[in-house]
């Protein structure tokens, strides 16, 4: 008999050799039918895994991340099997689960057009109906190579040969006539892949190397319920409309040119948006007691060696030689901040010292990874470094979280906190790590906030809090982070004089709230679908002349609004007013003021709102008061 600890700490006794699937069935048919994989003593396993010793068992459904991955990984096997049935000469590469779906790479002569994808989907549906069990088995490397060579799968042979020298058996999964090289785990049978969709096909080099052959990659997604799939596909369609690259072009925000891949050009409207965002950043940080600094974009090799970047990050850095000395363009602001701290002696009375920096950093990203403003090669990081004593740590963390709360709420963004703990390749004393990690947890707990643990994913220099923002489509973005650092102060020999008159080492917080100005602009462009709230909109008001006779009145009104600091444009064209309104709506301008003979005669303006439609007429003073209040309070539409 074995004792198995289940959810909630309940311990039950079962026969030795029972499978996780049988345990799930004993707990209820609902759980059994929903189960995807299990976790035994923290390790994700197939549900058919036999249990031969006392352990802790978790049954994972699609609601769990590992359950999602297992089902979507199985969907990739179904895809590969369908392709092999339709195109037996296809050569299989790899097919993992990824965020929100899965993909599989194929070496085929036939192009995977939308019509071909429909045929593949139909064959996948047949395989799902067949409810083929996924059965794991192992072969010696020589046997595995022979089998894959016989099947004509050169990419699988290459992968097996890489592991052949390790003396380990090679894991496979079989479903019907289809055998796949795979470590698993998978759901029990293909019928569990109830709702799926192939979403696109692109080219992809084998192993991401442009020297290798270009393969065809089919992307897809899978769910356990058709309703969830339909909702997801609807979200994808909505996301296409909100694509910040498309809106950036339509609204004149930014562009990326062939002359500078990964280096965005900000256009006039984009600069207004960017500067408004930065002005708000500065206003908030001033209230929270930060001072602002600016450090050089390029510093010499000795600094980057001292910080550790030269040894561990050099392949992502742009370097040059000046006066026979190696220099690097900064990929991060932190080392410059260390130098600023060291410029003068500090007392415990000076701490905490909060230094913010809007620093332009450069990182070499592969061309295939570049994506609008989301993945670029230069960006403005809204950094801050807080130097403090160990006993100030908790209060400083709370202060940063309060700042995050204020900023994110202004944009209508909610978040989930993730605590990332000590990785295997950490630096420093484990006792200090434990203290820092528990302080992070205690700070957010005392503020009444929940968090999840991301075990072992902290930076090598300290644990961290990551803030995953949810936008209006429910998508998540990792923007804010609070990282505790016990190592850079040591590397740079930072000191302060304590109340005891002795020298002490401060501890430091790295933190960003927006993460990157550029990326955050991309996020909020999609979040608001380009319809920015009035305080942030590049153009807040468009004043339109209904006839040529009111052109002068329109110009006078625009001048008065500009004098109030309101961002305004005029439309004096000889076009129908309906056309002008529709165009302003397409430009997503919050307010339109329509000026005709009647409005001039009565000393009023006709007001239309982007969302509220016709608001009637009001005096210009009344409208100025309305919009100024909206801007001052940073009201969301």
- Residues with a catalytic annotation lie at 334, 363, 381, 383, 385, 464, 510
Other beta carbons within 10 angstroms of residue 371's beta carbon come to: 15
The distance of Cα 139 from the centroid of its chain, to the nearest Å, equals 39
| Cβ atoms of residues 248 and 372 within 8 Å | yes
What token pair was written down for 477? Answer: 């973005």
Tell me if the bond preceding 185 is cis, omega within 30° of 0.
yes
246, exposed or middle or buried, with CB in 10 Å at 0-12, 13-18, 19+? middle
451 burial class (0-12, 13-18, 19+ CB within 10 angstroms)?
A: middle
Query: How many residues in total does the chain contain?
Result: 637
Question: What end-to-end distance do the CA atoms of the chain give, in Å?
Answer: 62
Give the integer Cα–Cα distance in Å for 449 and 347: 33
Nearest to 204, CA basis, from 106, 92, 88, 113 = 106
* Residue 308: strand, helix, or coil: coil
CA distances in angstroms from 543 to 221, 316, 558, 560, 608, listed in the order given: 47, 48, 7, 12, 10
Answer for the pair 527, 519: CB distance below 8 angstroms, yes or no: no
- Using CA atoms, how far residue 375 sits from 216, 459, 519, in Å, is 23, 21, 7
Contacts of 512 (CB under 8 A, 6+ apart): 381, 382, 383, 384, 479, 480, 481
Question: Rounded to 5 degrees, what angle do the CA atoms 161, 162, 166 make?
Answer: 95
Rounded-to-integer distance, Cα 384 and Cα 332, Å: 11
Sign of CA dihedral 84, 87, 93, 96: negative
Q: What is the DSSP string of 134-194?
A: -EEEEE-HHHHHHHHHHTT-HHHHHHHHHHHTTTPPEEEEEETTEEEE------SBGGG--
Q: Which two tokens stand for residue 422?
A: 């000590």
List of residues 6+ apart from 37 with CB closer than 8 A: 44, 45, 46, 47, 60, 66, 67, 70, 185, 186, 187
Angle among Cα 187, 193, 194 to the nearest 5 degrees reads 140
Rounded Cα–Cα distance for residues 243 and 249 (Å): 10
Do the beta carbons of residue 380 and residue 516 sit within 8 Å? yes
| Residue from 374, 370, 365, 381 nearest 524 by CA | 374
In angstroms, the CA 402 to CA 398 distance is 6
Sign of CA dihedral 125, 126, 129, 135: negative
Those residues whose C-beta lies under 8 Å from the C-beta of residue 20, and which sit 6 or more positions away, are: 35, 38, 40, 45, 46, 47, 48, 49, 51, 57, 59
* Cβ–Cβ < 8 Å for 463, 421: yes
**Which contiguous run of DSSP H or E holds residue 544?**
strand 541-545
């Amino acid at each position: 008999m074995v004792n198995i600890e289940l959810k909630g700490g309940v311990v039950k006794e079962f026969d030795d050799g029972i499978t996780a699937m049988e345990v799930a069935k004993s707990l209820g048919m609902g759980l059994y039918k929903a189960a995807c994989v299990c976790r035994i003593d923290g390790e994700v396993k197939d549900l058919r895994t036999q249990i031969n010793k006392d352990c802790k068992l978790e049954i994972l459904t699609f609601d769990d991340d590992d359950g999602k991955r297992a089902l979507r990984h199985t969907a990739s096997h179904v895809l590969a099997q369908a392709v092999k049935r339709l195109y037996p000469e296809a050569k299989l590469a790899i097919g993992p689960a990824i965020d929100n779906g899965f993909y599989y790479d194929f070496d085929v002569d036939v192009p995977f057009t939308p019509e071909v994808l429909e045929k593949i989907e139909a064959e996948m549906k047949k395989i799902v109906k067949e409810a083929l069990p996924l059965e794991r088995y192992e072969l010696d490397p020589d046997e595995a190579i022979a089998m894959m060579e016989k099947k004509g799968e050169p990419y699988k042979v290459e992968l097996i040969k890489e592991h052949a020298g390790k003396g380990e058996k090679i894991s496979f999964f079989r479903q019907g006539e289809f055998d796949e090289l795979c470590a698993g785990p998978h759901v029990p049978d293909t019928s569990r892949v109830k709702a799926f969709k192939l979403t696109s096909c692109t080219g992809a080099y084998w192993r991401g190397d442009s020297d290798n052959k270009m393969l065809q990659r089919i992307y897809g997604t899978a769910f356990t319920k058709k309703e969830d799939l339909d909702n997801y596909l609807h979200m994808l369609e909505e996301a296409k409309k909100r694509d910040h690259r498309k809106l950036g072009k339509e609204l004149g925000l930014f562009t990326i040119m062939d002359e500078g891949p990964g280096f965005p050009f900000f256009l006039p409207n984009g600069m207004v948006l960017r500067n408004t965002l930065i002005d708000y950043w500065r206003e908030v940080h001033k209230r929270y007691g930060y001072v602002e600094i600016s450090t050089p974009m390029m510093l010499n090799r000795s600094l980057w060696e001292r910080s550790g970047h030269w040894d561990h990050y050099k392949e992502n850095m742009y370097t040059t030689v000046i006066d026979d000395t190696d220099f690097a363009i900064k990929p991060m602001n932190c080392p410059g901040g260390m130098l600023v701290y060291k410029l003068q002696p500090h007392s415990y009375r000076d701490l905490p010292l909060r230094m913010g920096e809007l620093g332009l950093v450069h990182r070499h990203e592969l061309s295939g990874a570049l994506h609008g403003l989301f993945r670029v090669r230069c960006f403005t990081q809204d950094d801050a470094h807080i130097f403090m004593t160990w006993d100030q740590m908790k209060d400083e963390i709370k202060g940063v979280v309060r700042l995050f709360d204020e900023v994110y709420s202004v944009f209508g963004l909610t978040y989930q906190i993730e605590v990332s703990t000590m990785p295997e390749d950490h630096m420093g004393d484990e006792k200090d790590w434990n203290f820092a990690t528990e302080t992070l947890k205690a700070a957010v707990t005392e503020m009444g906030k929940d968090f999840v643990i991301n075990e072992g994913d902290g930076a090598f220099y300290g644990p961290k809090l990551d803030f995953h923002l949810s936008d209006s489509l429910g998508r998540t973005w990792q923007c804010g982070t609070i990282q505790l650092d016990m190592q850079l102060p040591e590397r740079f020999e930072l000191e302060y004089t304590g109340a005891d008159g002795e020298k002490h080492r401060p501890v430091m917080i790295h933190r960003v709230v927006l993460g990157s100005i550029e990326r955050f602009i991309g996020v909020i462009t999609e979040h608001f679908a380009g319809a920015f709230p009035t305080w942030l909109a590049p153009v807040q008001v468009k004043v339109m002349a209904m006839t040529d006779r009111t052109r002068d009145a329109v110009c006078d009104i625009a001048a008065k609004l500009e004098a109030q600091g309101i961002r305004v444009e005029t439309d004096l064209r000889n076009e129908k007013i309906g056309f002008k309104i529709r165009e302003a709506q397409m430009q997503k301008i919050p307010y339109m003021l329509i000026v005709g003979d009647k409005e001039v005669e009565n000393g009023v303006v006709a007001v239309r709102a982007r969302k509220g439609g016709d608001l009637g007429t009001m005096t210009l003073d009344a409208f100025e008061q309305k919009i100024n209040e909206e801007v001052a309070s940073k009201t969301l539409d």
